Structure 1
Amino acid sequence: MEKVVLITGGARGIGRAIVEDFDRDHRIAFTWLSSDPTPDLSGGDNLAIRSDLSAPNQPAKVIEQVIERFGRLDVIVNNAGLVKSTPKEEFQAKDHHAILDLNLLAPAALLAAALPHLERGAAIVSISSMNAVLPPRDAVTYGASKAALNLWTRAMAKELGPDGIRVNAVAPGAINIPEAPRSEELTALFVNDTALGRPGQPEDIAKAVRFLASDAASFITGEVLAVTGGYRL
């Protein structure tokens, strides 16, 4: 069945792969901020929305545009996120707030705005991180934001379960993002710690998101699916 899917941060990297995957057989809306998706992603029936989801009222405006265009919303994929160094030697409150605003509060704001339009069978899938359980050096607030997102995922699954709305997350491992490649040395370190012996690709995450959003996962909710290739087993 064709669904209306909203993907945040859909212009590049994992978000772009998710957009391209769902675009094969669903109607797509996606947000972007700094990476212009035109013309290759915003053509056809796709709705590309430029939005800073960490700004007040922006999540509600995004949902309003989706409903105005498509008349309904079936799936929300919370992919937009901020990775930023927050070294312990320096405390810049604005940096910590920026991370939490986008990684944790924006999904909550989107859900609040979307709830009147979500029907039984709707699905929320958020992009978490292995750093939710493996603290990243000099980026602890990023890891904490993803750990909080995991708890939010389980809490919302419990609260929305009676309404037939499922809430899950995908926690990627080391993913090779073409627009932001890692050095060969760092890639080798990750690969050496990965059971499958290769870095992940954005398409690996997109496939997992598609599954969790699909009717094939109709009895799965409150889960954080690790897609890491067996990192640090």
Structure 2
Amino acid sequence: MSLDLTGKRCLVTGGSRGSGRAIVLALAARGARVVTCYREDQEAAADLERELKAFGADHRVVRADVRRPEDAAMLAGTCRELFGGLDVLVNSAGVDGHAPLEALEPDEWHRVLDTNLTALHLVTRAALPLFGANATIINIGASAAERGLAFKSHYTASKAAVTGWTRSLAKELGPRGIRVNIIAPGIVASGADGPPPQVIERIKSATALGRLGAPGDIADAVLFLASDHSAYISGATLTVDGGI
């Protein structure tokens, strides 16, 4: 099965690190043209720019806070200027959160909900005029939204809301030929920022495949949903969690 995406015009939010970075590089490696954004880590963004040069000049890494309507509009404007339109939007920007309910203050609630949910609305709404028929929107959710996790009520709430948002949007945009789907990762290895070794071993033992996910696992799922091989899939959740 060929996943050649030559000529596809893509916007990926949160593309400087982790799974977002793997998604950006995987799309570019298969011939797509990519605009992506970062919020704070300029070093990671500069490193990504250097890697993207190996795939040609039709890529852009810009600084944006996707929680802000004006930044979402700027991203859409960048895509219009460079590409004239969009074929693929990957809403990958997201944050984790950990707090017991009694300590879950409004600022922390809004930090997680605004990044994981509101940003999807802002970026997708800004990008909507750029989509033609056969465009696809891919939202990064979380398999934990179906299971729940203690001390992560705001995180799982934000990701569960993405499911309802996605399924509603799939019905709304389907008549225009636009597909909308979710990828729901499990625990993805994140290097030095990940959980301690004993927690990692416990997570591994809970998966059918006996390992954590890798950023490339998520990127591979994005390639499938961005390709014409998924032309009759919309409103679906593709779970990529190793069988937790």
Range class of TM-score, shorter chain: over 0.9
RMSD over equivalenced CA pairs, Å = 1.3
Residues 12 and 179, structure 1, Cα contact 8 Å, conserved in 2: no
Alpha-carbon deviation of 1:91?
3.7
**Structure 2 unaligned blocks of 5 or more:** 1-5
- Figure out how many residues of one structure are paired with residues of the other and give that number: 231
- Of 6, 24, 28, the residue aligned with 1:23 is 28
Alpha-carbon deviation of 1:190?
0.8
Question: 3-state DSSP class of the match of 1:155?
Answer: helix
Residues 86 and 96, structure 1, Cα contact 8 Å, conserved in 2: no
Letter in 1 for 2:32: H
Alpha-carbon deviation of 1:179?
4.9
- Of 48, 51, 64, the residue aligned with 1:41 is 48
Alpha-carbon deviation of 1:110?
1.3
- Of 13, 22, 41, the residue aligned with 2:18 is 13
Alpha-carbon deviation of 1:86?
3.3
Instruction: Supply the distance in 2 between the matched residues of 1:205 and 1:224 (Cα, whole angstroms).
Output: 13
- 1:179-198 aligned at under 5 Å gives the runs 179-198=192-211
Residues 169 and 223, structure 1, Cα contact 8 Å, conserved in 2: yes
- Residue deviations 1:6-27, cap 9 Å, x none? 1111001000110110011110
- 1:129-140 aligned at under 5 Å gives the runs 129-140=142-153
Alpha-carbon deviation of 1:213?
1.3
Letter in 1 for 2:33: R
Question: 3-state DSSP class of the match of 1:133?
Answer: helix
Instruction: Supply the distance in 1 between the matched residues of 2:45 and 2:133 (Cα, whole angstroms).
Output: 33
**Structure 1 unaligned blocks of 5 or more:** none
Would you say 1:104 and 2:111 are equivalent positions?
Answer: no
Instruction: Supply the distance in 2 between the matched residues of 1:76 and 1:179 (Cα, whole angstroms).
Output: 29
Alignment correspondent of 1:83: 96
Give the share of equivalent positions with the same residue, in percent.
40
Alpha-carbon deviation of 1:72?
1.4
Question: 3-state DSSP class of the match of 2:182?
Answer: strand
- Of 157, 166, 175, the residue aligned with 1:144 is 157
Residues 4 and 75, structure 1, Cα contact 8 Å, conserved in 2: yes
Would you say 1:115 and 2:128 are equivalent positions?
Answer: yes
Question: 3-state DSSP class of the match of 1:176?
Answer: coil
Alignment correspondent of 2:108: 95
Residues 38 and 45, structure 2, Cα contact 8 Å, conserved in 1: no
Alignment correspondent of 2:8: 3
Letter in 2 for 1:33: R
**TM-score of the aligned structures, taking structure 1 as reference length:** 0.95
Question: 3-state DSSP class of the match of 2:133?
Answer: coil
In structure 2, relative to structure 1, the CA distance for the partners of 1:140 and 1:38 (3 Å cut) is closer
- After superposing on structure 2, the runs of 4+ consecutive aligned residues of structure 1 that deviate more than 6 Å are none
- Of 146, 150, 163, the residue aligned with 2:176 is 163
Instruction: Supply the distance in 1 between the matched residues of 2:195 and 2:104 (Cα, whole angstroms).
Output: 27
Question: 3-state DSSP class of the match of 1:119?
Answer: strand
- Residue deviations 1:173-222, cap 9 Å, x none? 12111252322111111111111111111000100011011111000000
**TM-score of the aligned structures, taking structure 2 as reference length:** 0.91
Could you tell which deviates more after superposition, 34-43 or 210-219?
34-43
Letter in 1 for 2:147: L
Instruction: Supply the distance in 2 between the matched residues of 1:171 and 1:156 (Cα, whole angstroms).
Output: 17
Alpha-carbon deviation of 1:3?
0.5
Instruction: Supply the distance in 2 between the matched residues of 1:26 and 1:40 (Cα, whole angstroms).
Output: 19
In structure 2, relative to structure 1, the CA distance for the partners of 1:160 and 1:39 (3 Å cut) is same
